[in-house]
Homo-oligomer: A and B are copies of this chain.
Amino acid sequence: MKVAGTIDEIRSAVAEARLAGSRTVGLVPTMGALHEGHYSLIDAAREGCDFVVVSIFVNPAQFGPGEDLQTYPRPLEADLAGCRARGADAAFVPQVEEMYPPGAVTTVHVAGLTARLCGANRPGHFDGVCTVVAKLFNIVAPDVAYFGAKDYQQAVVVRRMVRDLHMPVRIEVCPTVREADGLAVSSRNVRLSAEERAEAVALAESLRLAQKMVEAGARGAAEVLEAMRRQLDERAPCGQVDYVQVVDSESLQDVEEITASVVAAVAVRFASVRLIDNMLLTPPRSPKA
C-alpha cells in the first residue's frame, strides 16, 4: 500500500493506477481512528472499485470552538496497518498546511440542510465537511466515494453538494456498523466512561423503539418522539439530549406524520463526548389507517 503524504504524491499514485488499467477509483474519506465502520467502507470500496484510496485527515474546519479537535484520537500507525489489512491501495495522509494553504478563504455551503439536526448545534460544521470533501474529490478524482449511514446528515449534505455542483463522483452510503449491544461504532466511543458506555446503548434502543412503534401502526411523530425522549431520559440519565427528531429522509425537515420513509435521529452528550445515531423508519406497505 502506498502512503502518500502530499497532494502530488496521491495524484501521482492515482494517475499511475489509471495508466496501469484501473478503471474505477474509490475514495473512503476518514478522520482516522479507524474502526469497523470505516473498515466496512473500505470493504465496500474494495468490492466496487479497482483502486482504493483511504484519506486520513483530522479536518480542523469541521470542529467548532470548544469541540474536541485537540483531543481527537490520531493512532496513525494502527490506522495504516488497518488500511493495509483491509486491502486499500493507497492512504492519503496530508498535513493541515497543504489542505488549507495560508490565506485559504474558500468554503462550500449547502444551505438549509445544514442548519438542521447536528448543524443547529454545530454552526459551520457542515461547511467544514463540504469544503474538505470538495478538496479531497478535486485531489483524488474518485469515481465513487463511500460514507457511513451513521453520519446520516453528512451523507445527505454531501450528496446534495455533489448533485448541485455536478461533481463527477457517485456517493455510496453504507449501513451503520454496531457493537453487539447495538451501540453505533464511533471513534469517540473509547472516550466514554464505563457507566456512560453502558448508558450509550440507549441511543440505539430509542431508535429501535421508534421503529417498533411505526411497525405497530404509530404514525404521529409527536407520539414517537415523546416515547423516544422518555426512554433516553430513563436509560441514559448521565446523557444530555441535544436533539431527538423525526425528519424527511431527503429534506431533513421535521415531519408530523410518518407516512413515507422518514429518519429518526438522536444526538446525546456524555460529558465532552457527543454521540449521534439514526434509523430509517419505514411504515409497513399496507398501513392500518
Give the interface of A toward B (CB within 8 A): 7, 11, 99-101, 103-113, 130-131, 134-135, 138-139, 141, 160-161, 163-168
Contact = CB atoms under 8 A, between A and B. Distances in A.
A113 B105 contact: yes
A interface, over-half SS: mixed
Contact of A112 (B105, B161, B165, B167): B105
Nearest to A127: B109
Contacts of A99: 166
A108 B108 contact: yes
Given A135-B165, A168-B141, A111 B107 contact: yes
20 contacts: A99-B166, A100-B164, A101-B163, A103-B160, A104-B163, A105-B110, A105-B112, A105-B113, A105-B164, A106-B164, A107-B108, A107-B111, A108-B109, A108-B165, A109-B109, A135-B166, A138-B166, A138-B168, A139-B168, A141-B168
Q: How many copies of this protein are present in the complex? A: 2
A134 B165 CA distance: 7
A127 to B, nearest CB: 9
Nearest to A11: B168
A105 B159 CA distance: 12
Contact of A106 (B100, B103, B109, B168): B109
Contact of A139 (B109, B110, B163, B166): B166
Contacts of A130: 106
A103 B111 CA distance: 10
A97 to B, nearest CB: 13
A105 B160 contact: yes
A7 B110 contact: no
Contacts of A160: 103, 105-106
